[in-house]
Structure 1
């Protein structure tokens, strides 16, 4: 595993999440500045839209409109022609803040939630993966997941892989054309089974906590390790074949492959993920490095 040189793309964030490469720029949510921002490769930042309920996962529907998670409202919002509207309200199916999402080629949106009050130190509970169909209909696609977070869809559209941040694993499903998930299986075990109940117990049992992630053309997942201060390149089966360390004093909480050739790896880094620390501070950074294998699939 070669040591990677990181360069700074942007400083002064609250907490960056949901990074995406789209139409020649990075797009990223800043949860505690309540903004979705477009960032050029050389670090020029433009606020695209404000989301008071705390923005997170980002994606684009087939018609080109932006969808963005509003975490505290439990909604996925749609932004088009300068107007922000509700694409779907998922309150009925949420046990905690809504979180990351991925959009399929057909326009289905898959989105997870925390499952419990993470910031308040509540006991850990499982959560569901929810599907929003193009007409806005909401259904539960899979349940019993331990903090479903970053997701990828294979280039052929036939497989969805989701990170279980508090489960030490990636879980895969066959993805049908209608959005149905079947053939659930562990795609990559990253540590022992998590048995803790309190937040502290669970965090203490994590080996790798897969957070925001990206798929590459060799079928590996680049994943931010929310407890390890790094991003890791994970092979199916669970082997970690490469890693990039975050700067000292920072954790890594999301990543994405992009750039014109798909080989730029963007890291979302901050000292920690706790709201009471991050909301008043402006210490989050976007960092980048180059890797050999380009982006593939979605997001």
Structure 2
């Protein structure tokens, strides 16, 4: 039987939220419309962490806690360890479109999804890649031939999960010792929904936002849905497990019908619900490393 959950509002008034990441007692989110990275604590207090005029997208933390931000339009990973951001890796020669989500492995390897949303047909597939940025700043493409790769997540088993939004599925890759992605396979096909932002839990299941739907789902390998989170009047965007025990699911949404809002830009929000299974162990370990 599928379990249904409801949410409570945590924070609102944002423009276009993406890439939620739990770290050191707070949820970090990028707002590509406002050009900022925010942190939100469990009481809903919001702080500005970084200004990124070049449209921040994916977020991640290196093993020592340094914050990485994927700059959509510069097509670079920016490091915000110091007051002034530094270029961690330049992906502009490999990314045909904009940078999207970011996932950082325990060894510091950073995986970035990229594609050209305006391209059609074979051009769209040709532009879609997963890029690898190593800690030394070297970059290379490690996966291609994808139907708009969006959300990324790394499991406790050290696999990379990719939400293939227009493919209506989540793909799984084994991460090799040198960072290469091996043994591509379908983690789950989705019926009547397209996955956007995703996260993994400690039992190997995936939480996924349903594109342009008021719905988040928990899916087991193979595609069986165990839980649904309904967000009426909203569109699901991305989700992340965190909280004190890893069992808080943070749900990023935006208004489904912007015509109903006089201030169209500020309809993005973060809501929470409590789930049974905590975040993947690797995610919890990374969140305890410290942010300098």
Alignment of 1:104-115 (within 5 A): 104-115=105-116
- Are residue 69 (structure 1) and residue 54 (structure 2) matched? no
Q: The residue matched to 1:243 in structure 2 has which SS?
A: strand
After superposition, the Cα gap between the structure-2 partners of 1:33 and 1:146, relative to the gap in structure 1 and judged at 3 Å, is: same
Structure 1 residue 81, shift from structure 2 partner: 2.5
Q: Distance in 1 between matches of 2:216 and 2:262?
A: 20
Alignment of 1:12-31 (within 5 A): 12-31=13-32
Q: Distance in 2 between matches of 1:280 and 1:85?
A: 33
* Alignment partner of 2:242 out of 249, 258, 262: 258
Q: Distance in 2 between matches of 1:296 and 1:273?
A: 34
Tell me, which stretches of 5 or more residues in structure 2 are unaligned? 284-292
Q: Distance in 1 between matches of 2:135 and 2:249?
A: 30
Q: Is the 8 A contact 1:169 1:190 kept in 2?
A: yes
Q: Distance in 2 between matches of 1:134 and 1:150?
A: 21
- Are residue 283 (structure 1) and residue 267 (structure 2) matched? yes
Q: Distance in 1 between matches of 2:175 and 2:112?
A: 14
Per the normalisation by structure 2, the TM-score is 0.89
Structure 1 residue 257, shift from structure 2 partner: 0.5
Q: Distance in 2 between matches of 1:85 and 1:47?
A: 18
Q: Is the 8 A contact 1:152 1:298 kept in 2?
A: no
- Are residue 228 (structure 1) and residue 213 (structure 2) matched? yes
- Residue 123 of structure 1 is matched in structure 2 by 120
Q: The residue matched to 2:93 in structure 1 has which SS?
A: helix
Q: Deviations over 1:210-243 (max 9, x none)?
A: 1111111111000111132211111101122211
- Residue 226 of structure 2 is matched in structure 1 by 241
What is the aligned length? 276
Q: Is the 8 A contact 2:212 2:256 kept in 1?
A: no
- Residue 49 of structure 1 is matched in structure 2 by 50
- Residue 80 of structure 1 is matched in structure 2 by 81
- Are residue 5 (structure 1) and residue 9 (structure 2) matched? no
* Alignment partner of 1:270 out of 254, 258, 267: 254
Tell me, which stretches of 5 or more residues in structure 1 are unaligned? 192-206
After superposition, the Cα gap between the structure-2 partners of 1:225 and 1:165, relative to the gap in structure 1 and judged at 3 Å, is: same
Alignment of 1:133-282 (within 5 A): 133-157=134-158, 159-191=159-191, 207-248=192-233, 250-271=234-255, 281-282=265-266
Q: Deviations over 1:158-216 (max 9, x none)?
A: x111110111111111111210111111111224xxxxxxxxxxxxxxx2211111111
Q: Is the 8 A contact 1:32 1:279 kept in 2?
A: no
Q: Distance in 2 between matches of 1:147 and 1:123?
A: 11
Per the normalisation by structure 1, the TM-score is 0.87
Q: Is the 8 A contact 2:209 2:239 kept in 1?
A: yes
Q: Is the 8 A contact 1:153 1:297 kept in 2?
A: no
- Residue 202 of structure 1 is matched in structure 2 by none
After superposition, the Cα gap between the structure-2 partners of 1:279 and 1:148, relative to the gap in structure 1 and judged at 3 Å, is: farther
CA-based RMSD of the aligned residues comes to 2.0
Structure 1 residue 128, shift from structure 2 partner: 0.7
Q: The residue matched to 1:145 in structure 2 has which SS?
A: coil
Q: Distance in 1 between matches of 2:12 and 2:111?
A: 30
- Residue 204 of structure 1 is matched in structure 2 by none
Q: Is the 8 A contact 1:212 1:253 kept in 2?
A: yes
After superposition, the Cα gap between the structure-2 partners of 1:99 and 1:297, relative to the gap in structure 1 and judged at 3 Å, is: farther
